Amino acid sequence: MEQEGKIRHAFPGGNTSKGFHSFYDYILPQSEANRIIVLKGGPGVGKSTFMRRIGLELCSMGYNVEFMHCSSDNNSLDGIVITDLKIAMIDGTAPHIVDPKHPGAIDEIIHLGDFWNQDGLRQSRNDILLITSEISSLFARAYKYLGAGKYLYDDIEKIYDEAIDMKSVNKESERILAKIYEGIDSQDKASKERHLFISAITPEGPKNYISNLVEPQKNVYIIKGPHGKGLKKIFSRIAESAITKGFDIECYHCAFNPEVIEHIVIPEIQTAFTTSREYHTVDVISPTEIIDLDNYLSKSIIDKYSEVLDYDKNEFDNLFNKAVEKISQAKAMHDKLETYYVPNMDFNGIENLRKKILEKILKQA
Using DSSP's 3-state secondary structure scheme, residue 206 falls into strand
Which pLDDT tens digit goes with each residue over 32-84? Answer: 889 999 999 888 888 999 999 999 999 999 999 999 999 999 999 999 999 99
Q: Which residues pair with 65 in a beta bridge?
A: 7, 82
Task: Check residue 240 and give its pLDDT.
Answer: 96
What share of the chain has pLDDT > 70, as a percent? 95
Averaged over 4-17, what is the pLDDT? 95
Answer yes or no: is pLDDT of 126 > 90.
Answer: yes
Confidence of residue 102 (pLDDT cuts 50, 70, 90): low
- Mean of the per-residue pLDDT values of the chain: 92
Reference 291, options 173, 182, 180; nearest CA is 173
Task: Check residue 171 and give its pLDDT.
Answer: 95
Provide the whole-model pTM: 0.94
Which pLDDT tens digit goes with each residue over 143-175? Answer: 999 999 999 999 999 999 999 999 999 999 999
Distance, CA of 54 to CA of 80 (rounded, Å): 9
Least confident of 71-75, 90-94, 99-103, 203-207: 99-103
**Dihedral (Cα; 323, 327, 328, 332), 10-degree rounding:** 150
**28 within 8 A of 38, measured Cβ to Cβ:** no
**70 within 8 A of 135, measured Cβ to Cβ:** no
Displacement of CA 235 from its chain's centroid (Å): 18
Confidence of residue 182 (pLDDT cuts 50, 70, 90): very high
Answer yes or no: is pLDDT of 191 > 70.
Answer: yes
Sign (positive or negative) of CA dihedral 25, 6, 281, 290: negative
